[in-house]
Amino acid sequence: MKVNRNFMLCEVAGETVVVPCGAAASDFHGMLRLNTTGAALWKMLENGAEEAELSAMLVKEFGADETSAAEDTADFLRKLAEIGCLE
Amino acid sequence: MNMYRIADLNVAMETFGRTLRQSEAYRTTEAMADIVIRTDLDAAQSRYPSFSADDCEHMETASQFYSRLLEHNGMMLHASCVVLDGEAYLFSAPSGTGKSTHTQLWLKRFGDRAFILNDDKPALRWIDGTCYAYGTPWSGKTSLNRNERAVLRGIGILQRSDVNFAERLSGTAAIFGVLDQTIRPYAKSQMQTLLGCIDKLVAGGFVYRVGVNMEPDAAETVYRVMCGEG
């Protein structure tokens, strides 16, 4: 799974945000704000990580239990898919 | 091509109509262009068939200038900009909210101390660490613009409100407030530059949420907060 390359992760004024560029900008005019875990998931998705790897990272790096890590990952991916962030 | 000095940049441009008239005050004799503007009017008119040739030219030249401005440490903000005591206050909002109505209240309240620098699309540029607002020939439906610059004091993201207020914005509300009212560049590198500009505006504490009615008191209330007396 990979994020659409037309979306760009950026640090602005202490916030981690994702903005659409190029063709994506005409479909989505908004902006995403990511928290620390969201940013970590996003960076893995830039390199094409699978869902299982993402939730394993939440367990390992953020101390989440396996059930909620899996739920949170699925939820995150569903939101990204809704706004066209996934390729 | 005619040469103009706009936002402290040399701009070469062959234009007509309103854009030519409003650019007259910006003519310069300098020779080297920082930005060259060439419009394809036929293409623009086929994209915007409901607009006159004059309006298309104005939009196209503005779009080219403000895109290139990103390469020179600057950005456009869709705002009405009033200068008071030599400092620039910008009020930004979607069309029809009352940006110009609000800055006209400043002129009424402050008289000779204030003037409109650009009524629709002022340029912002950072020079030696200071952010300046500039008048440009692209000032929307009105010809209210001056070939001058002023140090930026504040940017109000404007909304209508029964009660007048102004409060400093931070974080995503401030970032999106600005991002929502500028030209979003197509290329990633330019987007990076734009976000760098927005970072400086937000981190510098320049961005406010401003709610105003149409009473003369609105100008006084907002001014006091933005100049630090509030």
pLDDT in tens, A43-75: 999 999 999 999 999 999 999 999 999 999 999
Cβ pair B192:A12 closer than 8 A: no
Indicate the residue of A12, A30, A33 with minimum beta-carbon distance to B198.
A12
- From chain B, pick out residues whose CB is under 8 angstroms from the CB of A30: 176
State yes or no: pLDDT of B230 exceeds 70. Answer: no
Task: Please give the share of chain A, as a percent, with pLDDT higher than 70.
Answer: 100
Q: B residues 200-219 near A, CB within 8 Å?
A: 202-203
Mean model confidence pLDDT for chain B = 94
ipTM of the predicted structure? Answer: 0.84
- The H or E element that residue B90 is part of is strand B87-92
Query: Going by DSSP bridges, is the β-strand pair B87-92/B149-160 parallel, antiparallel, or unpaired?
Result: parallel
pLDDT digits (tens, 9 = 90+) for B78-100: 999 999 999 999 999 999 999 99
Judged by a CB distance cut-off of 8 A, whether residue A15 touches chain B is yes
State the helix-helix crossing angle for B171-179 and B188-203, rounded to 10 degrees. Answer: 130
Q: Sorting pLDDT into bands at 50, 70 and 90, what band is A14?
A: very high
The yes-or-no verdict on residue B31 having pLDDT over 90 is no
> What is the rounded distance in angstroms from the CA atom of residue A30 to the CA atom of residue B219?
30
Which of residues B43 and B28 earns the better pLDDT score? B28
> B123-127 and A32-34: which strand pairing?
unpaired
Q: What is the pTM (predicted TM-score) of this model?
A: 0.91
Listed as own residue / partner, the contacts of A17-25 with beta carbons closer than 8 Å and 24 or more positions apart are A17/B172, A17/B175, A17/B195, A18/A42, A18/A85, A19/B179, A19/B184, A19/B191, A19/B195, A20/B184, A21/B184, A21/B185, A21/B186, A21/B187, A21/B188, A21/B191, A22/B186, A22/B187, A22/B188, A24/A84, A25/B184, A25/B186
CB pair distance less than 8 Å for B195 and A19: yes
| B114 touches A at CB < 8 Å | no
Reading the block at residue A45, the tokens are 């998705």
Copy the structure tokens of residue A4: 């659409």
Mean pLDDT of B156-167: 97
What residues of A are in contact with residue B174 (Cβ under 8 Å)?
Answer: 13
